[in-house]
Amino acid sequence: MPSSQDASGPRMDPEKRGSAADLSIAEAEARHHRDRHALYKARVHSGKPTSLTRLRELERAAARAEAWLRHVRGR
């Protein structure tokens, strides 16, 4: 049975919006996805074998994590 959450996406739980634990998790996930995207982008610029599809996937995951972070912060 498929999970209700994408494995690379953030956990969204409206019941816990804004809790300190969620904020900490959201910040960590946003940082993680930003870092993964930045590292892969550097790999693209270095000339190593890369995939533009993978780069876009990492960019979308980072954007989802940032959106969740904004949601948890209440913005």
13-48 burial, b for 16+ CB within 10 Å, e for fewer? eeeeeeeeebbebbeebbeebbebbeebeeeeeeee
For residue range 45-62, what is the model confidence (pLDDT) as tens digits?
999 999 999 999 999 999
11 within 8 A of 64, measured Cβ to Cβ: no
Evaluate if pTM is beyond 0.75.
no
Query: What are the residues whose beta carbons fall under 8 Å from the beta carbon of 12, sequence distance 6 or more?
Result: 5, 68, 71
- Is the pLDDT at 23 greater than 70? The verdict is yes
In 3D space, the residue among 55, 3, 6 whose CA is nearest the CA of residue 29 turns out to be 6
